[in-house]
Chains A and B, each alone.
Chain A
């Protein structure tokens, strides 16, 4: 369990060159302990940079990244320990698989942590359970699996390190609805069962609405909105203005409101819409 905080963090690409781009501009935010937090924004909003900063792959130009109140850059030599505590799943993580069997690949992270064989075994099977990998898959070569399965193996590989904060960059990108639901459910399951914090970066508002407790909206290198899911969706009009793809049902609610129907703005699930509309008939 851990709380992740950013204090006035800025990050600049190509500093002091003509191509200087400020990717993050004085960002302060807190990811609540034990929450599933979604970071959303479109390409170029700074969310990918944010991911690299959270895990210590990049160092902020100014400001601090705090894990439970301690600056992760305080002892750069111990960054590896920090990386064991803040797990990162990159975009399209299936391309990082390399071992001969699925279980060997999932054990790679825990083995690097220097855990005992018993502990490794326990963690591997636990992680496989989170993402729904069947026991018969475990001894197969990861290269023989389908795209969705490979993705699940890769995510399990980081879950098995049982990080206090699990950061995932676009975990469901390119998957079909079944694959997407399976992975997002598994990720939420990890958070619920271990009590650890989960950060999901995505540009799918619909997924965020379905799976996150808190949402942070990034735009132009700054935090545009943040708070609980309800609080963020209450600003639906504003979200649409930033160019985010708000869920279809939210768009519908906005449209109906424009046409004079009394319906709250922050609707993001079909159930809520049914509840709001049913009494009107």
Chain B
């Protein structure tokens, strides 16, 4: 199974510090292929962030199987070098844009990762310039991070990962603290990376509009996988979304409400256009 990037089977995890430790993850089984664009949905405390933190070795599972990019993270003899090797391939962007930039100049920060990997200087320079161009931040190469907007800071963080040339990027609620414009910037950036460079993207979020854009949505609730499928399949079951403490997209809610009132509408629209199409078609059918 060459193209499986993440393999998890019956994964259990709990935070050790707490005395009466309640498991945060209770038996997660999932396979994610290389190049996929996956949204992981769930309310705060559902375990979605814990799952993300397992994927690049910030946390270690108590039981179950977990293999990420060829590294067996559930193995009892996991070494620091194994985790180092894993993190070259699986990068993570966090929630707070302020707390992940290290350097006082944008380009120095982007260089931080490759510097840690021991990449030769000239090669770092090339990668930094390229990474900044990819996220559209070349203009800001010499700026100080604290003067940038939230969306720009997150793009710098993404560039910092690109420069390490990973195969997978995890976005752990990276849009939660941003305004709508910043959120758009970040989403567009990682979608571009997924489409153009084939980087596997996992975005952990509670925004339905973000999940709707992914190829695959995994809903986590109470440490278990509640649903796994295309956005269309996931949005079809509005009750399940509500039960998981999530919003039902307004278009979906509208279609469902109309159906309840006896209007015959076929299909499960995900985007606005699809929804408009569906309504127009139904009206044409009725009148024409």
Contact = CB atoms under 8 A, between A and B. Distances in A.
A222 to B, nearest CB: 19
A223 B247 CA distance: 31
Given A255-B273, A270-B254, A277-B279, A177 B176 contact: no
Interface in A75-99: none
Nearest to B45: A146
Contacts of A16: none
B261 A278 contact: yes
A146 B245 CA distance: 16
A245 B180 CA distance: 7
A277 B259 CA distance: 12
Interface string A222-252: 0000000000000000000001010111011
B251 A248 contact: yes
Given A174-B177, A255-B273, A278-B261, A273 B254 contact: yes
Interface string A147-179: 110000000000000000000000001111111
Interface stretch (B1-9, B106-114, B162-170, B280-288): B280-288
A251 B276 CA distance: 10
Contact of A274 (B246, B257, B282): B257
B282 A281 contact: yes
Given A249-B251, A252-B254, A203 B43 contact: no
Contacts of B261: 274, 278
Contacts of B254: 249, 252, 270, 273-274, 277
B120 to A, nearest CB: 40
Nearest to B41: A176
A115 interface: no
Contacts of A206: 250
Contacts of A173: 177
A248 B44 contact: no
B102 interface: no
A62 interface: no
A174 B179 contact: no
Contacts, number: 90
Contacts of A245: 180
B275 interface: yes
A175 B179 CA distance: 13
Contacts of B182: 43
A222 B45 CA distance: 40
B263 A278 contact: yes
B276 A256 contact: yes
A255 B176 CA distance: 28
Interface string B146-157: 000100000000
A43 B261 CA distance: 41
A259 B255 CA distance: 18
B249 interface: yes
Contact of B280 (A174, A203, A256): A256
A248 B272 contact: yes
Given A174-B176, A247-B250, A255-B272, A281 B206 contact: no
B251 A252 contact: yes
A251 B44 CA distance: 28
B18 to A, nearest CB: 10
A113 interface: no
Contacts of B279: 256, 261, 277
A281 to B, nearest CB: 5
A42 B263 contact: no
Interface centre among A146, A204, A277, by most B CB within 10 Å?
A277
A280 interface: yes
A79 B280 CA distance: 58
Nearest to B46: A176
Interface in A258-272: 259, 261, 270-271
B117 interface: no
B253 interface: yes
13 contacts: A42-B181, A43-B181, A43-B182, A177-B246, A179-B43, A179-B44, A256-B280, A261-B280, A274-B257, A274-B258, A280-B283, A281-B282, A281-B286
Given A174-B173, A281-B283, 19 more contacts: A43-B179, A43-B181, A148-B44, A174-B95, A176-B206, A177-B245, A178-B43, A248-B249, A252-B275, A255-B272, A256-B279, A259-B280, A261-B279, A270-B253, A270-B257, A274-B254, A274-B261, A281-B258, A281-B282
Which 4 A/B pairs are nearest by Cβ-Cβ distance? Answer: A249-B250, A176-B206, A248-B250, A176-B43
